[in-house]
């Protein structure tokens, strides 16, 4: 029984109701500082960016910044960013499913492999970017080609083409971030009761069918959450891309930075930043919709 009951004359259901209300209110007070912080440091600047995107030094409201950026190739930048995101998500989820599946069984050296699997999280993004720019360099051959030549294949100049350059960034980013997806999926595997596997095995299902009918459905909510979070983060990729491929092929975040660093480019940068925000908003809406359906 709680000890805050004071008004012992009021009927019990009123006391409990009031008490529950106070409880909720106090809980909200505990959450309030974090909400205030987030409101001032995240939502307010985000709104500010949108407001700035419709301004220029002499016009208080205009769509010029968007028109200008479209003329500079905005649609191509969006396309590049989305291709990169799709490729990275595909690679990360394919690898993570495999790694998490391996980690779900016992075998000798599993703990060592688990450590190796999450080691990339600790490597700073700029360090990883720098290292991968030696693997996929602009001039010269790079370590990727040293490896290819070791297996007898000819050298391939990754950064020469848009698709090769994006592929290089996809590989670099996936190296670092697959571990995050692995962690989430491992939690998912842990939540699937062994009894389901046993039942399936008794029914005669082989490993592939067990994967399809037991594992995947059980992982569904985990995959969805991880996809949406990683998708939003992937769209935001900046340092890795800028270090490896500089400004060609253009991605949204790199363009925002380049425009921001250009004198008088603040409003143009805000417009591209708002476009980026719009894409992320699509992911956010999906989180809300799919999460709400549970």
> Which residues within the stretch 247-286 sit at the binding site for other proteins (CB under 8 A)?
247-248, 250, 253, 256-266, 269-270, 273-274, 276-277, 280, 283-284
From CA 186, how far away is CA 221, in angstroms rounded? 13
Q: Give 10 or 288: the residue with its C-beta nearer to other proteins.
A: 288
Coil/strand/helix, residue 133: helix
**Is the Cβ–Cβ distance between 240 and 169 less than 8 Å?**
yes
Coil/strand/helix, residue 129: helix
Question: Where does this chain touch other proteins (CB under 8 A) — which range of 7-15, 84-92, 185-193, 209-217?
Answer: 185-193
46 to 75, contacts with other proteins by CB under 8 A? Answer: 46, 48-49, 52, 56-59, 62, 64, 67-68, 71-73
Q: C-beta of 152: minimal distance to other proteins in Å?
A: 15
203 makes contact with other proteins (CB under 8 A): no
Binding track over 12-41 against other proteins, x by CB under 8 A: -----------xx-xxxxxx-xxx-xx--x
125 makes contact with other proteins (CB under 8 A): yes
148 makes contact with other proteins (CB under 8 A): no
**Is the Cβ–Cβ distance between 182 and 102 less than 8 Å?**
no
From CA 129, how far away is CA 220, in angstroms rounded? 32
Q: What are phi and psi of 278, to 5 degrees?
A: -60, -45
Cα angle: 150, vertex 152, 158; to 5 degrees = 80
From CA 58, how far away is CA 63, in angstroms rounded? 13
Q: C-beta of 206: minimal distance to other proteins in Å?
A: 11
Q: C-beta of 266: minimal distance to other proteins in Å?
A: 7
**DSSP H or E segment with residue 239:** helix 239-245
- Single out the residue of 9, 111, 152, 289 in contact with other proteins (rule: CB under 8 A): 111
């Amino acid at each position: 029984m709680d000890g805050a009951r004071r008004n012992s004359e009021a009927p019990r259901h009123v006391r409990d109701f009031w008490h529950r209300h106070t409880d909720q209110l106090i809980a909200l007070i505990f959450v309030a500082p974090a909400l205030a912080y987030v409101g001032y440091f995240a939502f307010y600047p985000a709104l500010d960016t949108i407001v700035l995107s419709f301004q220029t030094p002499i016009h208080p409201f205009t769509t010029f910044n968007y028109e200008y950026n479209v003329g500079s190739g905005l649609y191509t930048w969006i396309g590049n960013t989305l291709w990169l995101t799709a490729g990275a998500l595909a690679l990360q989820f394919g690898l993570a499913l495999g790694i998490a599946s391996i980690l779900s069984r016992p075998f000798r050296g599993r703990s060592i492999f688990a450590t190796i699997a999450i080691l990339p999280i600790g490597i700073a993004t700029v360090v990883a970017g720098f290292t991968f720019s030696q693997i996929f360099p602009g001039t010269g051959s790079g370590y990727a080609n040293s490896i290819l030549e070791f297996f007898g294949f000819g050298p391939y100049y990754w950064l020469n083409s848009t698709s090769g350059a994006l592929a290089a960034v996809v590989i670099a980013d996936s190296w670092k971030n697959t571990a995050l997806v692995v962690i989430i999926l491992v939690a998912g595997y842990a939540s699937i009761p062994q009894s389901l596997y046993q039942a399936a095995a008794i029914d005669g299902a082989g490993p592939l069918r067990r994967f399809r009918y037991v594992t995947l459905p059980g992982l569904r909510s985990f995959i969805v959450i991880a996809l949406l979070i990683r998708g939003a983060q992937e769209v935001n990729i900046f340092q890795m891309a800028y270090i490896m491929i500089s400004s060609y092929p253009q991605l949204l975040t790199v363009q925002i930075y380049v425009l921001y660093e250009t004198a008088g480019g603040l409003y143009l940068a805000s417009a591209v930043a708002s476009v980026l925000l719009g894409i992320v908003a699509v992911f956010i809406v999906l989180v809300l919709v799919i999460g709400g359906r549970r």
